Amino acid sequence: MAKLQDKIAIITGAASGLGKGIAELFAEEGATVVVADIEDTAGKQLAETIGGMFVHVDVTNPASVEAMIQSAVERYGRIDILLNNAGIDGDQATTANSTLENWRRVMSINMDGVYYGMKYVLPVMVSQGGGVILNTASTVGLNAMGALPAYSASKAGVIHLSKSVAIEYATQNIRVNAICPSVVETPLLKHFIENTPDPEGARQGFASLNPMPGMVTVDAVARAALFLASDDSSFITAVALPIDGGYTAR
Ligand SMILES: NC(=O)c1ccc[n+]([C@@H]2O[C@H](COP(=O)([O-])OP(=O)(O)OC[C@H]3O[C@@H](n4cnc5c(N)ncnc54)[C@H](O)[C@@H]3O)[C@@H](O)[C@H]2O)c1
């Protein structure tokens, strides 16, 4: 039995990496996926492959996020699941050496974008009688990491914002949870590793970061997202779920 049969799911940042893997699994599980991304070519290609709809969105722009929600409602009449997943790592620098531009750029994608997504989808979910929101945070939002001030703060912010909204809407059949992967091989991680002073050392460090061997797979994250998006987690809200092979237990 498919776990998301006939559900309408919007996924931001769905053209690549985790968003793409989650979109593919949600579609396999019966959902119609609205692939939302700033990258049109890869986004359209994925939407064609999985049989969903592509919407161009820039999550830093509230009007663009609102239009994304409206397009999905116009096309499908409802939104059962919203995954706010678009994100960037930004530059690596200690706080005094980091730039104001990097702070604003990372915050505007990773943090403002999640707020806009929830702000505009919540009235739709309230009026249809419920829904599920997932936000992609990170273990970096649970355990601080140096030389990545904006990313760390944005991911901690996403976790707390998710919990606040979960409490606000708990009586309205809307669940809100955050997923917190540690390290997953995606273009974002490649960008991060290539920008460290010792990329090979960083790669080896990441490969042995988790108590469980190896990095987290896209599939493992997608299956955790599926659990939280489906009725299997019907009484779970306000959770920040690590997908980290035990990393945050240390
Ligand atoms: N890869 C990891 O190790 C890891 C670990 C923890 C959390 N995460 C988080 O997972 C999420 C997905 O990251 P990923 O690793 O799949 O990276 P990725 O670079 O493969 O994918 C990010 C996607 O977001 C899109 N995007 C970027 N800016 C956007 C904007 N302004 N509007 C709309 N879309 C935009 C990109 O086009 C891309 O398709 C991010 O929030 C990231 O912080 C990743």
pTM: 0.99
**1 — pLDDT class (breaks 50, 70, 90):** confident
Residue at 172 is within a domain: yes
Ligand 1 and 152: CB distance under 6 A = no
Distance from residue 171's CA to the centre of ligand 1 (Å):
31
Ligand 1 and 55: CB distance under 6 A = no
For residue 98, pLDDT beyond 90:
yes
Say if residues 165 and 133 touch (Cβ distance below 8 Å). Answer: yes
Residue at 250 is within a domain: no
Closest CA to 31 of 50, 64, 9, 61: 9
Residue at 51 is within a domain: yes
pLDDT digits (tens, 9 = 90+) for 12-24: 999 999 999 999 9
pLDDT at residue 153, as a whole number? 98
93: CATH:
3.40.50.720
Residue at 197 is within a domain: no
Atom of ligand 1 at shortest range from CA of 86: 24
pLDDT digits (tens, 9 = 90+) for 177-198: 999 999 999 999 999 999 999 9
Say if residues 178 and 152 touch (Cβ distance below 8 Å). Answer: no
Containing structural domain, residue 32? 8-183+218-242
**203 — pLDDT class (breaks 50, 70, 90):** very high
Q: For 153-165, what is the mean pLDDT?
A: 99
For residue 75, pLDDT beyond 90:
yes
Residue at 224 is within a domain: yes
Residue at 1 is within a domain: no
Mean pLDDT estimate for the chain: 98
**69 — pLDDT class (breaks 50, 70, 90):** very high
Structural domains in the chain (count)? 1
Q: What is the rounded CA–CA span in Å between residue 222 and residue 14? A: 12
pLDDT digits (tens, 9 = 90+) for 22-67: 999 999 999 999 999 999 999 999 999 999 999 999 999 999 999 9
pLDDT at residue 21, as a whole number? 98
Q: Which residues are catalytic?
A: 151
Residue at 159 is within a domain: yes
Residue at 117 is within a domain: yes
Closest CA to 19 of 82, 92, 86, 88: 86
**CB half-sphere exposure, 99, CA atoms < 13 A:** 7
